[in-house]
Chains A and B, each alone.
Chain A
């Protein structure tokens, strides 16, 4: 038997042999490579420009105080932790919620929940933050809660859409082979919905990193502090410097989201 096996070539299909068989299951086209390389280079160049300006410009006392490196680093750290903690909470809440909304009796109310979340997204973020602060008090965690609420929608919507987009015949195939519904969810539905879910996560990250600028109004910290000081002291240099730093951070976070999206994409899809 064994040498027969070794001798047997596959019977190729007459009519539909595939083109050049690709060995790798992952495709990296030119556009993707560009999207991966350009943003970090751009961010680095701009940041280098900022450093040059910061070291050479003739700055007043208030400006020097606000743009002192230890303070800026601290603000960046705070901004990043606001963003990452909120985004992690978003994923922990929105993904299970989205899964729940595509299963069993909850399936019927999923348009309603997504609709409500959609409407909530329309509410001005500054209003949400201030209202929550009045209710829960000022500080980091209140900022995290409002950012989390703000970031839930895209992840929730994409989780529902992604799971609904999985070919139902594949789900039936899994069940028909004897996989439990939990196994089908974990091994078929979620992996196939992952690209869509991750796109939602990236949107949430970008949303949250931008909105986190407002956290400073309720003592939540973050790079918004530089801009706020600039506004109240009327120092355009501070406003621009703060805005540039936030923009760079947002670009970097969005890039991180793209990398995550690419890594999470299952091979072969």
Chain B
């Protein structure tokens, strides 16, 4: 399956791909949900009514203390609502034991919150074991999930969390949340604890996983850019979890409901439009490529014939490993460098792409598809051309 994805041309439209996978998520309906903590004058959540469609990513954003995390935790009853009903796939969340309910709802927390005394495999196996799966099925599921989140099972299965980087821990956290294949995934500031480059990567991966799985994902974030990038819909909350706007990212940016939303989305929202455009929508440049192990002379001849001053080097599996200038090619054959090349996923936003391009000496960024397969290079000119064409469309 993955190989097929990798072979797909870049020009393919996302909707066509989405049609391949079926929605496995469940609809969540909140009706007049109230949370009043004893001893507090005003309720944390005043009266929230909301429908989260099956198979969509809905982002809860708002200033701190607005009740977004409380609202999220009421869905899996980590916090019990004072009144109101929450239905998941038509079933009242209070109609079952909280433990049974939670085993059907994946839960992913900032930093992964892995249990430090359990190996990666045992962390992932928690919910399947609670559900009484047999050992073989659990083992298979662990490997499948590690593969899904981009960690080689044989290498990472038996490691302890402290032997992983922050980004890897977060990946395992996502795998643990998905372990029992729950229809709903709740994420509480999932990418808050990692550095910007890793965060961007994890976001891209989540989108790619979601394209395959089509869960219903509810994600809390304080970062409006993350909300715009990941969300099918964005729920912007004011204090007391009052809905300021619940709409698509385009509508939130293009037609903010009121001043609060406008302020929250922030200035430079035309710049934020860049977060709505994926790299896959921009025309990619295809420079000359070389494969690790090839003769330097051949590569040089090919590049010079094409009038290029640099080449993209791929490994034997078609993944980009470096992007050297021709003068940097030394020795007999092309070797794999020690430093890792920073690439961007085709689902990254133009915002992400510009970030990466600014730190590259080429003024561009190497774009990869599924499983890190090389697709091409995105350059400044292509981005500015795209912005210009968008503006022209808007003017018409």
Contacts of B107 in A (CB 8 A): 173, 176-177
Let me know if A97 is at the binding interface, CB within 8 A: no
Complex Cα spacing A7 to B150, Å: 12
> For residue A5, which residues in chain B have a CB less than 8 angstroms away from its CB?
143, 147, 153
Provide the A221-258 mask, 1 if CB < 8 A to any CB of B, else 0: 00000000000000000000000000000000000000
Min Cβ gap A225→B in Å is 45
Contact pick for B340, options A10, A12, A266, CB 8 Å: A12
Collect the chain B residues with CB atoms within 8 Å of residue A188's CB: 115
Query: Measured between C-beta atoms, what is the minimum distance from A251 to chain B in Å?
Result: 30
A16 touches B198 (CB 8 A): yes
B20 within 8 A of A: no
Chain B residues whose C-beta falls within 8 Å of the C-beta of A58 in the assembled complex: none
Given A13-B165, A22-B163, A172 and B99 contact (CB-CB distance below 8 Å): no
In the complex, which residues 190-233 of chain B have their Cβ closer than 8 Å to any Cβ of chain A? 194-195, 197-198, 201
Cβ contact within 8 Å between A178 and B317: no
Residues on A with beta carbons closer than 8 Å to the beta carbon of B143: 5
Q: How far is the CA of A175 from the CA of B109 in the complex (A)?
A: 12
Whether the pair B109, A16 counts as a contact (CB closer than 8 A) is: no
B interface bracket (residues with beta carbon within 8 Å of A): 35 or more
- Give CA–CA (A10, B152) in the complex, Å: 5
**A residues 157-207 in Cβ contact with B at 8 Å:** 167, 169-170, 172-180, 183, 188, 191-192
Q: Give A188 Cβ to nearest chain B Cβ, in Å.
A: 6
Contacts A21-B163, A178-B100, A179-B126; A191 near B117 (Cβ below 8 A): yes
Whether the Cβ atoms of A172 and B117 lie closer than 8 Å is no
Give Cα distance in the complex from A173 to B161, angstroms: 15
**Are A267 and B165 in contact, CB atoms less than 8 angstroms apart?**
no
- A10-B156, A17-B165, A177-B102 are known contacts. Are A269 and B126 too (CB-CB below 8 A)? no
A268 touches B (CB below 8 Å)? yes
Q: Which of A16, A175, A180 has the most CB of B within 10 A?
A: A16
**Chain B residues near A9 (CB, 8 Å)?**
152
The total of chain A residues at the interface (CB under 8 A) is 38
What's the Cα separation between A13 and B196 when bound, in Å?
A: 11
- Complexed CA–CA distance, A266 and B1 (Å): 39
Distance to closest chain B CB from A265 (angstroms): 9
One digit per residue, 1 when the CB lies within 8 angstroms of any chain A CB and 0 when it does not, for chain B 1-32 equals: 11100000000000000000000000000000
Identify which of B99, B164, B168 contacts A178 (C-beta below 8 A).
Answer: B99
Let me know if A175 and B102 touch, CB within 8 A.
Answer: yes
Please tell me if A52 contacts chain B, counting CB pairs below 8 Å: no
A15 in contact (CB, < 8 A)? yes
Is B147 a contact partner of A177 (Cβ separation < 8 A)?
A: no
**5 pairs of A and B residues whose beta carbons are closest in the complex:** A268-B160, A178-B102, A266-B117, A178-B103, A176-B107
- 20 A-B interface contacts by CB (under 8 A): A1-B1, A8-B147, A8-B371, A10-B151, A11-B372, A14-B340, A14-B342, A16-B165, A16-B198, A18-B168, A21-B159, A25-B160, A167-B113, A169-B110, A172-B109, A177-B103, A177-B126, A177-B127, A268-B117, A268-B163
